[in-house]
């Protein structure tokens, strides 16, 4: 995200590419025009990000209209809940464990993260009882290395 944010730092997206959809009070008076202007901003972002390279891999970005999502109303909500974890820190989307669905794992990722999702950053402290979750208000804890968790 840092790379993508860097690419649009200072970029000013016009809100009225096709004309203003706002009245003098800044309230939307033309929803269709608002969507067209929003689409133009999305296309501009996609164009900027599509010229980005991250770790030698080109970024492919495309603006997708909301109505395209609406066509996917038949998606299985239970299935959609399996590969997505939304937390305070991030939204993680990972493959499932089904070989029929996602094929064989191509790395040993699942051995390192058996619950598939990256663990939340929780501060721990060493005690005579072993590791414990640190009190958050006294600053006594430290974050463990990612691979030492779980
Ligand atoms: Zn799957």
> Are residue 25 and residue 64 in the same domain, yes or no?
yes
> Are residue 124 and residue 114 in the same domain, yes or no?
no
C-alpha span between 85 and 105 (Å, rounded) = 19
What distance in angstroms lies between residue 122's CA and the mean position of ligand 1's atoms?
28
What distance in angstroms lies between residue 71's CA and the mean position of ligand 1's atoms?
21
C-alpha span between 39 and 9 (Å, rounded) = 19
What distance in angstroms lies between residue 16's CA and the mean position of ligand 1's atoms?
41
What distance in angstroms lies between residue 58's CA and the mean position of ligand 1's atoms?
25
Q: Are 15 and 37 in contact (CB under 8 A)?
A: yes
C-alpha span between 14 and 37 (Å, rounded) = 8
User: Domains in the chain: how many in total?
Assistant: 3
Phi, psi of 84 (to 5 degrees): -120, 130
What distance in angstroms lies between residue 102's CA and the mean position of ligand 1's atoms?
4
What distance in angstroms lies between residue 95's CA and the mean position of ligand 1's atoms?
5
Q: Tens-of-pLDDT digits for all 150 residues of the chain?
A: 778 888 888 888 888 888 898 899 989 899 889 989 999 999 999 999 999 999 899 999 999 876 644 455 566 666 666 788 877 777 888 888 888 888 999 999 888 888 888 877 777 777 888 877 777 666 667 776 655 544
What distance in angstroms lies between residue 105's CA and the mean position of ligand 1's atoms?
11
**65: which residues sit within 8 A by CB, 6+ positions away?**
39
C-alpha span between 138 and 43 (Å, rounded) = 47
C-alpha span between 90 and 76 (Å, rounded) = 23
> Are residue 39 and residue 93 in the same domain, yes or no?
no
Say what the pLDDT of residue 130 is: 80
Q: Which domain holds residue 133?
A: 120-150
């Amino acid at each position: 995200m840092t790379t993508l944010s860097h690419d649009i730092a200072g970029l000013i997206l016009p809100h009225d590419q096709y004309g203003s959809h706002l009245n003098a009070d800044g309230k939307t008076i033309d929803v269709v025009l608002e969507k067209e202007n929003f689409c133009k901003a999305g296309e501009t972002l996609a164009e900027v990000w599509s010229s980005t390279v991250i770790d030698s891999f080109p970024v492919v970005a495309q603006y997708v209209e909301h109505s395209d999502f609406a066509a996917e109303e038949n998606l299985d909500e239970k299935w959609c809940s399996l590969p997505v974890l939304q937390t305070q820190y991030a939204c993680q989307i990972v493959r499932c464990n089904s070989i029929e669905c996602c094929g064989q794992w191509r790395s040993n990722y699942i051995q390192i993260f058996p619950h598939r999702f990256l663990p939340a950053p929780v501060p721990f402290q060493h005690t005579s009882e072993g590791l414990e979750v640190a009190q958050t208000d006294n600053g006594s804890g430290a974050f463990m290395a990612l691979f030492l968790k779980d």
